[in-house]
Amino acid sequence: MNEFLNGRLSMKTSSNLPHNTYHPQEKLQGSVERVTFHSESSGFCVLRVKVKGQRELITVIGSVASVTPGEYIDCLGCWVNDRQHGQQFKSVSIKIVPPTTLEGIEKYLGSGMIKGIGPHFARKLVKAFGVDVFDVIECTPDRLMALPGIGRKRLARVTNAWAEQKVIREIMVFLQSHGVGTSRSVRIYKTYGEQAIEKVREDPYRLALDIHGIGFKIADTLAQKLGIAPDSLMRAQAGVRHVLQEWSNEGHCAAVRDILRDMSVKLLDIPAPVIEEGITAELVAGNLTAETIDQQESIFLTPLYRAEIGCANHLLRLNQGQPLWGTIDAHKAIPWVEEQTGLTLSASQRAAIELMLRHKVTVITGGPGVGKTTLVNSILKILKAKHIHIALCAPTGRAAKRLSESTGLEAKTVHRLLEFDPAIFSFKHNEECPLESTRKHFSDSAL
Protein backbone atom coordinates (compact mmCIF):
# COMPACT_ATOMS: atom_id res chain seq x y z
CA MET A 1 0.00 0.00 0.00
CA ASN A 2 2.86 2.40 0.85
CA GLU A 3 4.23 1.93 -2.67
CA PHE A 4 0.87 2.96 -4.11
CA LEU A 5 0.65 6.03 -1.91
CA ASN A 6 4.15 7.09 -2.94
CA GLY A 7 2.89 7.29 -6.54
CA ARG A 8 4.20 3.89 -7.68
CA LEU A 9 2.75 0.50 -8.33
CA SER A 10 4.68 -2.66 -7.53
CA MET A 11 7.18 -3.49 -10.30
CA LYS A 12 6.61 -6.45 -11.11
CA THR A 13 -11.18 -17.84 -30.60
CA SER A 14 -15.59 -20.01 -31.28
CA SER A 15 -16.88 -23.00 -33.21
CA ASN A 16 -20.04 -25.03 -33.12
CA LEU A 17 -18.00 -28.16 -33.77
CA PRO A 18 -15.94 -30.11 -31.23
CA HIS A 19 -12.41 -28.73 -30.86
CA ASN A 20 -10.83 -32.06 -31.67
CA THR A 21 -12.65 -32.41 -35.01
CA TYR A 22 -10.17 -32.41 -37.89
CA HIS A 23 -11.17 -30.55 -41.06
CA PRO A 24 -8.84 -31.20 -44.01
CA GLN A 25 -8.20 -28.08 -46.08
CA GLU A 26 -9.51 -28.00 -49.63
CA LYS A 27 -9.57 -25.59 -52.54
CA LEU A 28 -12.81 -24.14 -53.85
CA GLN A 29 -13.25 -22.01 -56.96
CA GLY A 30 -16.27 -20.28 -58.39
CA SER A 31 -17.98 -17.04 -59.31
CA VAL A 32 -19.60 -14.76 -56.73
CA GLU A 33 -23.33 -14.61 -57.40
CA ARG A 34 -24.33 -12.62 -54.32
CA VAL A 35 -22.60 -10.82 -51.45
CA THR A 36 -24.88 -11.61 -48.51
CA PHE A 37 -22.77 -9.67 -46.02
CA HIS A 38 -19.50 -7.74 -46.05
CA SER A 39 -17.98 -5.70 -43.23
CA GLU A 40 -15.84 -2.83 -44.48
CA SER A 41 -14.06 -2.53 -41.11
CA SER A 42 -13.04 -6.18 -40.58
CA GLY A 43 -13.40 -7.58 -44.10
CA PHE A 44 -15.58 -10.48 -42.89
CA CYS A 45 -17.93 -11.62 -45.61
CA VAL A 46 -20.63 -14.16 -46.41
CA LEU A 47 -20.76 -15.01 -50.10
CA ARG A 48 -23.01 -17.12 -52.27
CA VAL A 49 -20.83 -18.74 -54.90
CA LYS A 50 -21.57 -20.69 -58.06
CA VAL A 51 -19.20 -23.66 -58.18
CA LYS A 52 -18.77 -25.92 -61.19
CA GLY A 53 -20.41 -29.30 -60.61
CA GLN A 54 -22.70 -28.01 -57.84
CA ARG A 55 -26.41 -27.46 -58.55
CA GLU A 56 -26.97 -25.18 -55.57
CA LEU A 57 -25.04 -22.05 -54.64
CA ILE A 58 -22.33 -22.59 -52.02
CA THR A 59 -22.05 -20.37 -48.93
CA VAL A 60 -18.48 -19.18 -48.40
CA ILE A 61 -17.40 -17.28 -45.28
CA GLY A 62 -14.06 -15.53 -44.80
CA SER A 63 -12.34 -12.17 -44.98
CA VAL A 64 -11.58 -9.98 -47.98
CA ALA A 65 -10.98 -6.24 -48.40
CA SER A 66 -13.42 -5.88 -51.30
CA VAL A 67 -15.67 -8.32 -53.16
CA THR A 68 -18.23 -7.86 -55.90
CA PRO A 69 -20.77 -10.13 -57.65
CA GLY A 70 -19.33 -11.43 -60.89
CA GLU A 71 -15.80 -11.80 -59.53
CA TYR A 72 -14.13 -15.19 -59.55
CA ILE A 73 -12.72 -16.39 -56.22
CA ASP A 74 -10.09 -18.98 -55.38
CA CYS A 75 -10.48 -20.14 -51.76
CA LEU A 76 -8.52 -22.35 -49.38
CA GLY A 77 -10.40 -23.67 -46.36
CA CYS A 78 -12.61 -26.43 -45.06
CA TRP A 79 -16.24 -27.49 -44.91
CA VAL A 80 -18.12 -26.88 -41.65
CA ASN A 81 -21.68 -27.61 -40.64
CA ASP A 82 -23.13 -24.59 -38.85
CA ARG A 83 -26.04 -25.36 -36.53
CA GLN A 84 -28.05 -22.39 -37.74
CA HIS A 85 -26.97 -21.92 -41.36
CA GLY A 86 -26.07 -25.44 -42.43
CA GLN A 87 -23.09 -26.44 -44.55
CA GLN A 88 -20.58 -23.69 -45.33
CA PHE A 89 -17.10 -23.40 -46.74
CA LYS A 90 -14.98 -21.62 -44.12
CA SER A 91 -12.03 -20.08 -45.93
CA VAL A 92 -8.68 -19.09 -44.47
CA SER A 93 -7.65 -17.45 -47.73
CA ILE A 94 -9.67 -15.85 -50.52
CA LYS A 95 -8.01 -14.67 -53.71
CA ILE A 96 -10.14 -12.66 -56.07
CA VAL A 97 -9.72 -12.81 -59.83
CA PRO A 98 -11.56 -10.40 -62.17
CA PRO A 99 -14.21 -12.18 -64.29
CA THR A 100 -13.35 -13.34 -67.80
CA THR A 101 -16.78 -14.22 -69.23
CA LEU A 102 -19.03 -11.53 -70.73
CA GLU A 103 -21.79 -12.43 -68.27
CA GLY A 104 -19.42 -12.18 -65.34
CA ILE A 105 -17.93 -8.90 -66.57
CA GLU A 106 -21.37 -7.35 -66.94
CA LYS A 107 -22.42 -8.47 -63.45
CA TYR A 108 -19.13 -7.20 -62.01
CA LEU A 109 -19.35 -3.75 -63.60
CA GLY A 110 -23.06 -3.37 -62.82
CA SER A 111 -22.77 -4.32 -59.16
CA GLY A 112 -22.25 -0.72 -58.02
CA MET A 113 -18.63 -1.28 -57.05
CA ILE A 114 -17.44 1.12 -59.78
CA LYS A 115 -19.02 4.53 -59.19
CA GLY A 116 -20.65 5.85 -62.32
CA ILE A 117 -21.52 2.40 -63.71
CA GLY A 118 -24.86 0.77 -63.09
CA PRO A 119 -26.45 -2.35 -64.64
CA HIS A 120 -27.69 -0.45 -67.72
CA PHE A 121 -24.38 1.23 -68.51
CA ALA A 122 -22.49 -2.00 -67.76
CA ARG A 123 -24.51 -3.70 -70.48
CA LYS A 124 -23.54 -0.91 -72.90
CA LEU A 125 -19.86 -1.21 -72.02
CA VAL A 126 -19.76 -4.97 -72.51
CA LYS A 127 -21.63 -4.69 -75.80
CA ALA A 128 -19.22 -2.02 -77.04
CA PHE A 129 -15.87 -3.40 -75.86
CA GLY A 130 -16.49 -7.06 -74.98
CA VAL A 131 -13.76 -8.80 -72.93
CA ASP A 132 -11.43 -5.83 -73.52
CA VAL A 133 -13.55 -3.50 -71.41
CA PHE A 134 -11.21 -3.63 -68.39
CA ASP A 135 -8.22 -2.64 -70.54
CA VAL A 136 -10.23 0.20 -72.04
CA ILE A 137 -11.17 1.60 -68.61
CA GLU A 138 -7.60 1.35 -67.34
CA CYS A 139 -5.49 2.24 -70.38
CA THR A 140 -7.65 4.20 -72.81
CA PRO A 141 -10.57 5.58 -70.76
CA ASP A 142 -11.24 8.37 -73.27
CA ARG A 143 -12.76 5.74 -75.55
CA LEU A 144 -15.70 5.62 -73.14
CA MET A 145 -16.63 9.13 -74.27
CA ALA A 146 -17.85 7.66 -77.57
CA LEU A 147 -20.75 6.01 -75.73
CA PRO A 148 -24.00 7.97 -75.24
CA GLY A 149 -24.71 9.08 -71.69
CA ILE A 150 -21.15 9.61 -70.45
CA GLY A 151 -19.44 12.95 -69.92
CA ARG A 152 -16.25 14.11 -68.30
CA LYS A 153 -17.61 14.01 -64.74
CA ARG A 154 -18.94 10.49 -65.11
CA LEU A 155 -15.72 9.39 -66.78
CA ALA A 156 -13.70 10.78 -63.85
CA ARG A 157 -15.86 8.88 -61.33
CA VAL A 158 -15.42 5.64 -63.25
CA THR A 159 -11.63 5.92 -63.66
CA ASN A 160 -11.06 6.99 -60.02
CA ALA A 161 -13.15 4.10 -58.66
CA TRP A 162 -11.38 1.66 -60.96
CA ALA A 163 -7.95 2.90 -59.78
CA GLU A 164 -9.00 2.52 -56.13
CA GLN A 165 -10.10 -1.09 -56.64
CA LYS A 166 -6.86 -1.85 -58.48
CA VAL A 167 -4.81 -0.51 -55.54
CA ILE A 168 -6.74 -2.68 -53.09
CA ARG A 169 -6.07 -5.79 -55.13
CA GLU A 170 -2.38 -5.01 -55.53
CA ILE A 171 -2.04 -4.56 -51.77
CA MET A 172 -3.84 -7.81 -51.01
CA VAL A 173 -1.74 -9.74 -53.55
CA PHE A 174 1.48 -8.28 -52.12
CA LEU A 175 0.61 -9.13 -48.50
CA GLN A 176 -0.74 -12.60 -49.24
CA SER A 177 2.28 -13.44 -51.40
CA HIS A 178 4.43 -12.74 -48.33
CA GLY A 179 2.46 -15.08 -46.09
CA VAL A 180 0.03 -12.60 -44.48
CA GLY A 181 -3.44 -14.08 -44.01
CA THR A 182 -6.53 -12.53 -45.54
CA SER A 183 -8.05 -11.10 -42.35
CA ARG A 184 -4.76 -9.54 -41.27
CA SER A 185 -4.23 -8.19 -44.78
CA VAL A 186 -7.62 -6.48 -44.56
CA ARG A 187 -6.69 -4.86 -41.23
CA ILE A 188 -3.39 -3.66 -42.68
CA TYR A 189 -5.14 -2.11 -45.68
CA LYS A 190 -7.81 -0.48 -43.50
CA THR A 191 -5.06 1.05 -41.33
CA TYR A 192 -2.63 2.27 -43.98
CA GLY A 193 -4.83 2.61 -47.08
CA GLU A 194 -3.04 3.13 -50.38
CA GLN A 195 0.31 3.45 -48.58
CA ALA A 196 0.13 -0.08 -47.16
CA ILE A 197 2.80 -1.64 -49.42
CA GLU A 198 5.18 1.29 -48.96
CA LYS A 199 4.81 1.31 -45.17
CA VAL A 200 5.17 -2.46 -44.82
CA ARG A 201 8.30 -2.51 -47.01
CA GLU A 202 9.76 0.42 -45.11
CA ASP A 203 9.28 -1.12 -41.64
CA PRO A 204 7.30 -4.37 -41.29
CA TYR A 205 7.80 -4.26 -37.52
CA ARG A 206 5.52 -1.23 -37.27
CA LEU A 207 2.64 -3.69 -37.76
CA ALA A 208 3.14 -4.90 -34.19
CA LEU A 209 2.52 -1.33 -32.98
CA ASP A 210 -0.26 -0.30 -35.34
CA ILE A 211 -2.33 -3.41 -36.13
CA HIS A 212 -4.39 -5.22 -33.51
CA GLY A 213 -3.73 -8.97 -33.60
CA ILE A 214 -0.26 -8.71 -35.16
CA GLY A 215 2.63 -9.24 -32.76
CA PHE A 216 6.39 -9.37 -33.08
CA LYS A 217 6.53 -12.97 -34.30
CA ILE A 218 4.23 -12.37 -37.27
CA ALA A 219 5.99 -9.10 -38.14
CA ASP A 220 9.37 -10.81 -37.79
CA THR A 221 8.39 -13.57 -40.21
CA LEU A 222 7.22 -10.98 -42.73
CA ALA A 223 10.45 -9.00 -42.26
CA GLN A 224 12.54 -12.07 -43.03
CA LYS A 225 10.60 -12.63 -46.27
CA LEU A 226 11.20 -8.99 -47.19
CA GLY A 227 14.94 -9.41 -46.65
CA ILE A 228 15.38 -7.45 -43.41
CA ALA A 229 18.69 -8.47 -41.79
CA PRO A 230 18.24 -10.49 -38.57
CA ASP A 231 20.75 -8.28 -36.72
CA SER A 232 19.35 -4.97 -38.01
CA LEU A 233 18.61 -2.03 -35.73
CA MET A 234 14.98 -2.16 -36.91
CA ARG A 235 14.63 -5.73 -35.63
CA ALA A 236 16.43 -4.87 -32.39
CA GLN A 237 13.98 -2.05 -31.66
CA ALA A 238 10.94 -4.23 -32.30
CA GLY A 239 12.49 -7.14 -30.41
CA VAL A 240 13.12 -5.06 -27.30
CA ARG A 241 9.46 -4.07 -27.24
CA HIS A 242 8.51 -7.72 -27.64
CA VAL A 243 10.76 -8.80 -24.76
CA LEU A 244 9.22 -6.16 -22.49
CA GLN A 245 5.73 -7.27 -23.51
CA GLU A 246 6.57 -10.89 -22.62
CA TRP A 247 8.11 -9.68 -19.36
CA SER A 248 4.91 -7.78 -18.52
CA ASN A 249 2.90 -10.98 -19.07
CA GLU A 250 4.74 -12.37 -16.04
CA GLY A 251 3.52 -9.46 -13.91
CA HIS A 252 6.36 -6.96 -14.31
CA CYS A 253 5.73 -3.34 -15.25
CA ALA A 254 9.37 -2.67 -16.14
CA ALA A 255 12.79 -4.27 -16.50
CA VAL A 256 16.19 -3.00 -15.37
CA ARG A 257 18.00 -1.89 -18.50
CA ASP A 258 20.87 -4.40 -18.13
CA ILE A 259 18.41 -7.26 -17.64
CA LEU A 260 16.37 -6.11 -20.64
CA ARG A 261 19.50 -6.01 -22.79
CA ASP A 262 20.61 -9.50 -21.72
CA MET A 263 17.16 -11.01 -22.27
CA SER A 264 16.94 -9.40 -25.72
CA VAL A 265 20.37 -10.63 -26.75
CA LYS A 266 19.44 -14.18 -25.75
CA LEU A 267 16.03 -14.18 -27.46
CA LEU A 268 16.91 -12.28 -30.64
CA ASP A 269 20.52 -13.41 -31.14
CA ILE A 270 21.55 -9.81 -31.80
CA PRO A 271 24.83 -8.34 -30.48
CA ALA A 272 24.52 -6.36 -27.22
CA PRO A 273 25.69 -3.02 -28.74
CA VAL A 274 22.90 -3.19 -31.35
CA ILE A 275 20.36 -3.98 -28.61
CA GLU A 276 21.61 -0.99 -26.59
CA GLU A 277 21.24 1.20 -29.65
CA GLY A 278 17.73 -0.21 -30.17
CA ILE A 279 16.72 0.60 -26.58
CA THR A 280 17.99 4.16 -26.95
CA ALA A 281 16.19 4.61 -30.28
CA GLU A 282 12.90 3.37 -28.77
CA LEU A 283 13.29 5.75 -25.83
CA VAL A 284 13.80 8.65 -28.25
CA ALA A 285 10.78 7.54 -30.31
CA GLY A 286 8.64 7.49 -27.16
CA ASN A 287 7.71 3.81 -27.40
CA LEU A 288 9.66 3.12 -24.20
CA THR A 289 10.02 5.21 -21.04
CA ALA A 290 12.93 5.15 -18.59
CA GLU A 291 12.76 5.86 -14.87
CA THR A 292 15.28 5.40 -12.07
CA ILE A 293 14.05 2.93 -9.45
CA ASP A 294 16.30 1.93 -6.53
CA GLN A 295 19.20 3.70 -8.26
CA GLN A 296 18.83 1.58 -11.39
CA GLU A 297 17.51 2.66 -14.79
CA SER A 298 14.32 0.73 -15.47
CA ILE A 299 12.60 0.58 -18.85
CA PHE A 300 8.82 0.57 -19.33
CA LEU A 301 6.57 0.13 -22.32
CA THR A 302 5.20 3.67 -22.51
CA PRO A 303 1.48 2.69 -22.44
CA LEU A 304 2.11 0.52 -19.37
CA TYR A 305 4.07 3.32 -17.69
CA ARG A 306 1.23 5.76 -18.27
CA ALA A 307 -1.30 3.23 -16.96
CA GLU A 308 0.75 2.65 -13.81
CA ILE A 309 1.20 6.33 -13.07
CA GLY A 310 -2.48 6.92 -13.79
CA CYS A 311 -3.54 4.18 -11.36
CA ALA A 312 -1.22 5.52 -8.65
CA ASN A 313 -2.53 9.06 -9.07
CA HIS A 314 -6.14 7.89 -8.88
CA LEU A 315 -5.39 5.91 -5.71
CA LEU A 316 -3.81 8.98 -4.17
CA ARG A 317 -6.89 11.01 -5.07
CA LEU A 318 -9.32 8.42 -3.69
CA ASN A 319 -7.35 8.11 -0.46
CA GLN A 320 -7.71 11.80 0.40
CA GLY A 321 -9.90 12.65 3.37
CA GLN A 322 -11.22 10.64 6.29
CA PRO A 323 -12.80 7.14 6.08
CA LEU A 324 -16.59 7.04 5.99
CA TRP A 325 -16.74 4.97 9.18
CA GLY A 326 -14.86 7.54 11.25
CA THR A 327 -12.36 6.45 13.90
CA ILE A 328 -12.27 2.79 14.97
CA ASP A 329 -9.88 1.69 17.72
CA ALA A 330 -7.89 -1.13 16.09
CA HIS A 331 -6.50 -2.29 19.47
CA LYS A 332 -10.06 -3.10 20.55
CA ALA A 333 -11.42 -4.21 17.19
CA ILE A 334 -8.71 -6.80 16.43
CA PRO A 335 -9.11 -8.85 19.67
CA TRP A 336 -12.88 -8.66 19.19
CA VAL A 337 -12.77 -10.03 15.66
CA GLU A 338 -10.35 -12.79 16.73
CA GLU A 339 -12.84 -13.83 19.38
CA GLN A 340 -15.72 -13.73 16.87
CA THR A 341 -13.92 -15.81 14.22
CA GLY A 342 -11.92 -18.09 16.49
CA LEU A 343 -8.78 -17.24 14.50
CA THR A 344 -5.53 -15.71 15.66
CA LEU A 345 -4.28 -13.10 13.23
CA SER A 346 -0.60 -12.83 12.35
CA ALA A 347 1.41 -9.69 13.02
CA SER A 348 1.23 -8.66 9.35
CA GLN A 349 -2.55 -9.22 9.25
CA ARG A 350 -2.97 -7.10 12.40
CA ALA A 351 -0.87 -4.34 10.84
CA ALA A 352 -2.92 -4.54 7.65
CA ILE A 353 -6.22 -4.19 9.55
CA GLU A 354 -4.86 -1.13 11.39
CA LEU A 355 -3.87 0.37 8.04
CA MET A 356 -7.27 -0.38 6.48
CA LEU A 357 -9.16 1.21 9.35
CA ARG A 358 -7.15 4.44 8.97
CA HIS A 359 -7.46 4.85 5.20
CA LYS A 360 -10.24 5.15 2.62
CA VAL A 361 -8.37 2.99 0.12
CA THR A 362 -6.26 -0.09 0.73
CA VAL A 363 -4.68 -2.43 -1.79
CA ILE A 364 -3.98 -5.97 -0.62
CA THR A 365 -1.69 -8.16 -2.70
CA GLY A 366 -0.22 -11.60 -2.20
CA GLY A 367 -0.11 -15.10 -3.56
CA PRO A 368 -2.47 -17.99 -2.71
CA GLY A 369 -2.61 -19.04 0.93
CA VAL A 370 -1.04 -15.94 2.48
CA GLY A 371 -4.22 -14.93 4.32
CA LYS A 372 -5.94 -12.36 2.08
CA THR A 373 -9.38 -13.94 2.52
CA THR A 374 -9.00 -14.09 6.33
CA LEU A 375 -7.96 -10.45 6.33
CA VAL A 376 -10.89 -9.33 4.18
CA ASN A 377 -13.40 -11.33 6.25
CA SER A 378 -12.02 -9.80 9.44
CA ILE A 379 -12.32 -6.21 8.24
CA LEU A 380 -15.82 -6.91 6.87
CA LYS A 381 -16.93 -8.26 10.23
CA ILE A 382 -15.59 -5.16 12.02
CA LEU A 383 -17.35 -2.77 9.63
CA LYS A 384 -20.63 -4.71 9.74
CA ALA A 385 -20.56 -4.35 13.53
CA LYS A 386 -20.44 -0.59 12.96
CA HIS A 387 -23.53 -0.86 10.67
CA ILE A 388 -21.60 0.13 7.56
CA HIS A 389 -23.30 -0.76 4.27
CA ILE A 390 -20.93 -2.92 2.23
CA ALA A 391 -20.75 -3.57 -1.53
CA LEU A 392 -18.48 -6.29 -2.90
CA CYS A 393 -17.39 -6.41 -6.53
CA ALA A 394 -14.97 -8.21 -8.82
CA PRO A 395 -13.94 -7.84 -12.49
CA THR A 396 -15.53 -11.11 -13.67
CA GLY A 397 -18.56 -13.19 -12.83
CA ARG A 398 -16.41 -16.10 -11.73
CA ALA A 399 -14.36 -13.88 -9.40
CA ALA A 400 -17.56 -12.34 -8.00
CA LYS A 401 -18.96 -15.80 -7.26
CA ARG A 402 -15.75 -16.83 -5.49
CA LEU A 403 -15.75 -13.59 -3.48
CA SER A 404 -19.35 -14.18 -2.44
CA GLU A 405 -18.60 -17.77 -1.40
CA SER A 406 -15.58 -16.75 0.70
CA THR A 407 -17.33 -13.85 2.50
CA GLY A 408 -20.94 -15.02 2.71
CA LEU A 409 -22.07 -11.67 1.25
CA GLU A 410 -23.46 -10.74 -2.15
CA ALA A 411 -20.78 -9.80 -4.67
CA LYS A 412 -21.34 -8.26 -8.09
CA THR A 413 -19.21 -7.66 -11.13
CA VAL A 414 -17.82 -4.14 -11.47
CA HIS A 415 -20.04 -3.59 -14.52
CA ARG A 416 -23.15 -4.63 -12.65
CA LEU A 417 -22.32 -2.57 -9.57
CA LEU A 418 -21.71 0.56 -11.62
CA GLU A 419 -24.75 -0.30 -13.81
CA PHE A 420 -23.29 -0.40 -17.31
CA ASP A 421 -25.80 0.87 -19.88
CA PRO A 422 -25.22 -0.61 -23.37
CA ALA A 423 -27.54 2.00 -24.91
CA ILE A 424 -25.08 4.78 -24.09
CA PHE A 425 -22.07 2.45 -23.77
CA SER A 426 -21.20 3.94 -20.40
CA PHE A 427 -21.77 3.47 -16.67
CA LYS A 428 -24.72 5.05 -14.87
CA HIS A 429 -22.47 5.55 -11.83
CA ASN A 430 -19.32 7.60 -12.48
CA GLU A 431 -17.47 10.63 -11.10
CA GLU A 432 -20.58 12.75 -11.69
CA CYS A 433 -23.03 10.20 -10.30
CA PRO A 434 -21.15 8.13 -7.68
CA LEU A 435 -22.44 5.20 -5.71
CA GLU A 436 -24.07 5.81 -2.32
CA SER A 437 -21.54 7.54 -0.08
CA THR A 438 -22.62 5.47 2.91
CA ARG A 439 -21.23 2.26 1.39
CA LYS A 440 -17.83 0.65 1.79
CA HIS A 441 -16.72 -0.96 -1.47
CA PHE A 442 -14.43 -3.96 -1.76
CA SER A 443 -13.08 -5.06 -5.13
CA ASP A 444 -11.42 -8.43 -5.67
CA SER A 445 -9.18 -8.40 -8.75
CA ALA A 446 -7.98 -11.98 -8.37
CA LEU A 447 -8.96 -14.15 -11.36
- For the segment 188-228, what is each residue's pLDDT rounded down to a tens digit? 888 888 888 999 999 999 998 888 888 899 899 999 989 99
CB-CB contact of 406 with 373 (8 Å): yes
Residue 94 three-state SS? strand
- For the segment 379-400, what is each residue's pLDDT rounded down to a tens digit? 999 998 988 888 899 999 998 8
- Going by pLDDT thresholds of 50, 70 and 90, the confidence category of residue 37 is very high
- For the segment 310-333, what is each residue's pLDDT rounded down to a tens digit? 999 999 998 898 888 888 999 999
Q: How far apart are CA 263 and CA 275, in angstroms?
A: 10
- For the segment 227-265, what is each residue's pLDDT rounded down to a tens digit? 999 999 999 999 999 999 999 988 899 999 999 999 999
CB-CB contact of 439 with 390 (8 Å): yes
pLDDT at 18: 42
pLDDT at 13: 34
CB-CB contact of 133 with 126 (8 Å): yes
- Going by pLDDT thresholds of 50, 70 and 90, the confidence category of residue 21 is low
CB-CB contact of 49 with 58 (8 Å): yes
Give the residue, 160 or 179, on which the prediction is more confident: 160
Express as a percent the part of the chain with pLDDT over 70.
92
The mean per-residue pLDDT over the stretch 296-309 comes to 95
pLDDT at 3: 38
Q: How far apart are CA 222 and CA 225, in angstroms?
A: 5
pLDDT at 322: 87
Residue 123 has pLDDT above 50, yes or no: yes
Q: What pTM does this model have?
A: 0.63
Q: How far apart are CA 437 and CA 445, in angstroms?
A: 22
Long-range contact set of residues 257-266: C-beta below 8 Å, sequence gap at least 24: 257/290, 257/296, 257/297, 257/298, 257/299, 260/299, 264/236, 264/239, 264/240
pLDDT at 23: 65
pLDDT at 40: 76
Residue 152 has pLDDT above 90, yes or no: no
Q: How far apart are CA 381 and CA 353, in angstroms?
A: 11
pLDDT at 88: 93
The mean per-residue pLDDT over the stretch 104-108 comes to 81
Pure H helices in 178-256: 182-192, 196-202, 207-210, 216-225, 233-249
Sheet holding 254-256, edge to edge: 254-256, 296-301, 288-293
**C-alpha distances in Å from residue 436, one per residue of 5, 154, 440:** 25, 63, 9
**C-alpha distances in Å from residue 62, one per residue of 48, 148, 212:** 12, 40, 18
Classify residue 324 by its DSSP letter: T
Q: How far apart are CA 49 and CA 64, in angstroms?
A: 14
Express as a percent the part of the chain with pLDDT over 90.
34
Residue 289 has pLDDT above 90, yes or no: yes
